[in-house]
Amino acid sequence: MDERRSNQELIGRAGVDDVDAILAITNTDTASEFHDVGADVDTRFTWNYERARPKLGKLYEKAKVTQWNANDLPWETEVDQEAVVMANAAASAASGLVPATDLTGTPFEHWGDKEWVEFGVESQNWTLSQFLHGEQGALVCTARIVETVPWIDAKYYAATQVMDEARHVEVFSRYLDEKLTGHYPINAHLRMLLDDIIADSRWDMTYLGMQIMVEGLALAAFGFISQMTTEPLLKALLKNVMADEARHVAFGVLSLQEFYAQLTAAEIRERQEFAFEAAVRMRDRFLQQEVWERMGVDVKRAVEVLLKTPERDIFQSMLFSKIVPNCRKLGLLDAADGWLRQRFTELGVIQFEHWEDTAAELAVA
């Protein structure tokens, strides 16, 4: 493999912070009800039913006894979105309703509470919509893992995750429909990443893309939002979803640890590059360009302001607090002379490398 592959080849642009290139990626078929992704995938049966992987077995037992019913959540809770935005801002020690940065000369210079509350409402609609779309991606990918992974223990556990993901799609869809005030289509960067994961025929790439990268980021994002929100139904919903997600990420770590020990240096480099590309795609999607478009704000100028706010720096870096230690656990950080370590350093997230990995957190490592 050519070790000199450029950012242009990996992520389609020379600089990871090139705002123009990031915003140039948009969805052009948002009115379509369906989205098809072609893939040439072999279904793998195994006739070896021996339970030879006790850590996966332990995770499977956890999954069986911790299933929950979406109908048991307190759906009777009234949700006033504007009141929630104001309460969240008042409860936050890091920020109030208005970002703590100089807005002179920006599109927000003359914004008052009315505009910032409207942004808070639209931001919540957008965020929960992207969670919903990502959970459907996880549903599809985990069904793929059941089909392709060669080990019976992994097929058993992946089957429980399919049920988990169906439940996650259900709760986010219901929350959006019953409690919020609008849906957003899937963000173009998220869709691009999901397309790449689904189109790759190798079962371990499905694991890496979904279980480690997408689910790892989701686990961190859910935790961050759960701490920030004052809304009790969303807090209860996220608590249940996070318990499932922690098992899902641990499933990826345990499975890939064994498999990666068998790969060549060139094959590991491919996984490093895929992890880097996924990290950039996921970071790009949180710029919320669709929200600014809906609110009639100049998207590029809004994003440039957003990237300078201290709140965004904290949130963006925290999103990788699960991904980086799990990549270290898999040996991806320091393989190939530390190529991925360097990339994560450039993204400003390497400080999380020694945080506890997810399998260790669940005591199944």
Q: Which of 65-74, 84-93, 258-267 has the lowest mean pLDDT?
A: 84-93
pLDDT digits (tens, 9 = 90+) for 96-142: 677 778 889 999 999 999 999 999 999 999 999 999 999 999 999 99
Taking the CA atoms of 112, 116, 121 and 122 in sequence, report the sign of the dihedral they define.
Answer: positive
pLDDT at 77 over 90: yes
**15-29, 82-96, 204-218: which has the highest mean pLDDT?**
204-218
Instruction: State how far the Cα of 178 lies from the Cα of 233, in Å rounded to an integer.
Output: 12
Domain chopping of the chain, boundaries: 51-62+111-361
pLDDT at residue 226 in the model: 94
pLDDT digits (tens, 9 = 90+) for 179-220: 999 999 999 999 999 999 999 999 999 999 999 999 999 999
At 1, the pLDDT band (50, 70, 90 cuts) reads very low
pLDDT at residue 96 in the model: 63
pLDDT at residue 21 in the model: 87
Which residue matches tokens 């499932």?
244
At 329, the pLDDT band (50, 70, 90 cuts) reads very high
pLDDT at residue 4 in the model: 61
pLDDT at 228 over 70: yes
pLDDT at residue 360 in the model: 73
Q: What tokens were used for 240?
A: 């249940």
Give the residue among 243, 121, 140 at the shortest CA–CA distance from 191. Answer: 140
pLDDT at residue 27 in the model: 85
Instruction: State how far the Cα of 224 lies from the Cα of 93, in Å rounded to an integer.
Output: 13
pLDDT digits (tens, 9 = 90+) for 171-181: 999 999 999 99
Cα atoms found within 13 Å of the Cα of residue 308, Cβ hemisphere only: 11
Which residue matches tokens 């950012």?
7
Question: How large a percentage of the chain has pLDDT more than 90?
Answer: 75
Instruction: State how far the Cα of 251 lies from the Cα of 233, in Å rounded to an integer.
Output: 28
Q: Quote the pTM value.
A: 0.93
Is the CB of residue 170 less than 8 Å from the CB of residue 137? no
Alpha-carbon torsion angle 245, 315, 224, 217, nearest 10: 0
At 259, the pLDDT band (50, 70, 90 cuts) reads very high
Q: Among the CATH numbers 1.20.1260, 2.40.128, 2.40.50, 1.10.3470, which is that of 51-62+111-361?
A: 1.20.1260
